[in-house]
Amino acid sequence: MDAVVAAPQALLGRTIVGPASVRIRDGRIVEVITGKPPAGAEVLTDGLLTPGLVDVQVNGAVGVDFAEVDEDGMRAVAGALPSTGVTRFLPTLITAPVPIALRQARAVLAASAALPPGCGALPLGVHLEGPFLSPKRAGVHDPSLMVAPGPAEISSLLELKGALRMVTLAPEQPGGMEAIRRLVSAGVLVAVGHSDATGEQTRAAADAGARMVTHLFNAQRPLGHREPGVPGVALVDDRFTLGLIADLAHVGPDVCRLVFNAAGARVALVTDAVAAAGMPPGRYQLGGADVVLTEDGVPRSPEGTIAGSALTLDRAVRNIVSVGVPVADALASATIVPAEVIGESGLGRLAPGAVADLVWWDDQLRPRKVWVDGNVVYDAANPALPVPAAGYATAGQ
């Protein structure tokens, strides 16, 4: 039997309209109706209905580091994310030697496959952020573990087949352009990141098939008025989708607004969340290394380098709205844009044929109810549903 969810406002594509209703059958949206709700609909009396949020850069959360994940850890993350509006996510692994990265990736995939039905948000494969990065822009990654993307290394990664969804690399490294071409031809999204590439090299990476920039402005050659570096080209080259960590610490408020003014339709909000996300101040892990979360809410290495974030994607949306970006544009950057860049045409939209991942938001843009595949996985008003890990529902708000 069909289920119908009706709301006074809904995000359709990149526009908020209303009232609107979504008809669900077998976990898919079969019809979107504008105007008066049909008979038998579950009527949401206020707020906004949107697609589920899609986060394509998540290193961990609620104390779990994906570099050391097991079935229980993956279940904890999957169960916690819906309280932040996230219904699909891409587990991310940072720099490690290729054999270790493959072992970690297979552990992530095995833990993902073991998730029980209705557990919460669902993983989309794996994103390898390294080891083909530039030691000049290492950030918190270990530069001693970085290697050039030679043919043998790329062949090893491609053993993961369709489960390898995204690779972040520095295209200026020896073999970088050929690596991009091979990965892209195998259906892998390639992102430029942790890179000292010039503007010319960044544009050449797009020519080779790269289509994203990982955490714009962070760990890359900066924007200059004569040498545009990675961000300068990314902001003007329509082939790039721009990953943006909108915790207002990685990138300041004015620059976040500048990015949306320049290329808002191509921005994908990401969290780059680490195990510290949703947790109290303390010491956590990122790729097996210590990170410290202090009262300021920004994880750092013991030496003080920013190490991922404790951001949640709903908070990223609110942060972007707070700097003056329209609500519809902010939400599109956490739904349809990331879904499209990783080739998931059935996610991130309220449209016939799309997966029935939904979020009902209150007037302060906080999730009230979340559906995955048409099933409710989070309800702020219903304690009978699985409770998110301690602190996650309110982390960073």
306 assigned ligand-binding residue: yes
**Contact status, residue 166 vs residue 188, Cβ threshold 8 Å:** yes
Rounded Cα gap, residues 109 and 30, in angstroms = 30
Quick count: other Cβ atoms within 10 Å of Cβ 17? 15
Alpha-carbon distance of 192 to 116, in angstroms, equals: 34
Distance linking the first and last C-alpha atoms of the chain: 38
Indicate the angle between helix axes 199-208 and 176-185, nearest 10 degrees: 30
Residue whose C-alpha is closest to residue 97's, from 57, 139, 156, 176: 156
Asked about 272 being catalytic, the answer comes back as yes
Q: Are 338 and 56 in contact, with CB atoms under 8 Å apart?
A: yes
Let me know: does 177 contact 208? Beta carbons within 8 Å.
yes
Helices (H) and strands (E) in the chain, counts: 10, 24
* Residue 127 in marked binding region: no
Any binding-site annotation on 219?
A: yes
Longest dimension (CA), the chain: 63
Quick one: CA dihedral 202, 203, 209, 214, positive or negative? positive
Q: Is 225 annotated as a binding residue?
A: no
- Evaluated on CA atoms 248, 169, 112, 121, the torsion sign reads positive
Q: What angle do CA 302, 312, 292 make, to 5 degrees?
A: 10
Of 196, 247, 272, 314, the active-site residue reads 272
At 361, list the tokens. Answer: 């938001």
Residue 215, marked binder: yes
- The three-state secondary structure class of 245 is strand
- Distance between CA 65 and CA 284 in Å, rounded? 8
226 is in an annotated binding site: yes
Per DSSP, helices labelled H in 193-273 are 199-208, 229-236, 253-263
24 is in an annotated binding site: no
Q: Is 277 annotated as a binding residue?
A: no
Annotated binding site for substrate: 140, 218-219, 226, 250, 306-308
Binding-site residues for Zn(2+), please?
Answer: 129, 194, 215
The residues annotated as belonging to the active site are 272
Binding residues: 129, 140, 194, 215, 218-219, 226, 250, 306-308
